A and B are shown apart, each in its own frame.
Chain A
Amino acid sequence: NAGVTQTPKFRILKIGQSMTLQCTQDMNHNYMYWYRQDPGMGLKLIYYSVGAGITDKGEVPNGYNVSRSTTEDFPLRLELAAPSQTSVYFCASSSNGANGDTEAFFGQGTRLTVV
C-alpha cells in the first residue's frame, strides 16, 4: 500500500519557468490537499478538493493551479515560478470522515527552489 506519492522530491526552477508537482493516492480518499511549508513555519493550505471535479482555494492560492480529474490524482501547477514560491510542498489525502476516520496521510514532500 503506497499511500500518498509525490514527485519529484527535489526541484530547482528558474524564475518564470513552469512545472507540475504530481500527487497520487491509492486509498480511495475523497479529500486531497496541497500545502506549502516555509522554513520553521507551519503548513499553509494552497488548494484542496473534496472529490473528482471539485477544487477550492485555500489560504495562499495565488500563483498556483490545480485539477482533480480522478479520485487518485491531484496535480499542482506553477505557471510562472517566482522566488517567493521557494518552499517545501506537501500533498495530503483523507477520507470523508465516515466512522470518524479523518486522519490525513501525507506525501514525503517536494523541496522546490526558484532561482
Chain B
Amino acid sequence: AQTVTQSQPEMSVQEAETVTLSCTYDTSENNYYLFWYKQPPSRQMILVIRQEAYKQQNATENRFSVNFQKAAKSFSLKISDSQLGDTAMYFCALTGANSKLTFGKGITLSVRP
C-alpha cells in the first residue's frame, strides 16, 4: 500500500516571506510521481508542481519549488515571496504504476498581509 503523510495541519506566513510545507510518503514502487495540489476556497483542485521520481533534479515552477529526498521519502514544497492568493489548502499526492492516486490529509496555509 502507498501512503502520504502531511503532519502539519496548518501554517501561517507573512506576505512576501518564504514557507515550507512538509510531506513524507511510502511506496514499494520504483517509478512514481509526486504532486502538490492547491485547493482555494473555491474548492477547485489546482496542480502546483510535479516531480518524477527518476529525476534527481528538484522541480521548480516560478515561486514554487520542491525538495525531493528520495532515500528519505520526503517531498517538501517551498513557496517563495508568499502572496495573499497563496492562501489555500495544499495537498501532497503520489501515483505510481498501480495507477492509484493517493493524497495526504492536507495543510491549511494562511498568508497574512
Residues of A within 8 A of B (CB): 31, 33, 35, 40-45, 48, 50, 58, 88, 90, 92, 94, 96-97, 100, 102-104, 106, 108-109
Contacts and interface: CB of A to CB of B under 8 A. Distances in A.
B102 A45 contact: yes
A108 B43 contact: yes
Contact of A106 (B44, B99, B102, B108): B44
Given A42-B106, A88-B43, A109-B43, A103 B101 contact: no
Interface residues of B, number: 22
Contact of B91 (A43, A48, A58): A43
B68 interface: no
Q: Which of B95, B101, B106, B108 has the most chain A CB within a 10 Å cutoff?
A: B101
Nearest to A51: B99
B108 to A, nearest CB: 8
B50 A102 contact: yes
Nearest to A33: B101
Interface of chain B, helix or strand or loop or mixed?
strand
Contacts of A109: 43-44
A102 B103 contact: no
Given A104-B35, A108-B43, 4 more contacts: A42-B91, A45-B102, A48-B100, A104-B95
A48 B99 contact: yes
A16 B106 CA distance: 31
Interface in B70-113: 91, 93, 95, 97, 99-106, 108
Top 10 nearest A-B pairs (CB, nearest first) are: A106-B45, A42-B105, A43-B103, A42-B106, A102-B33, A42-B103, A109-B43, A50-B99, A103-B47, A31-B99
Interface in B38-87: 43-45, 47, 50, 52
Contacts of A88: 43
Contact of B100 (A42, A45, A90): A45
Given A42-B91, A42-B106, A106-B45, A92 B101 contact: yes
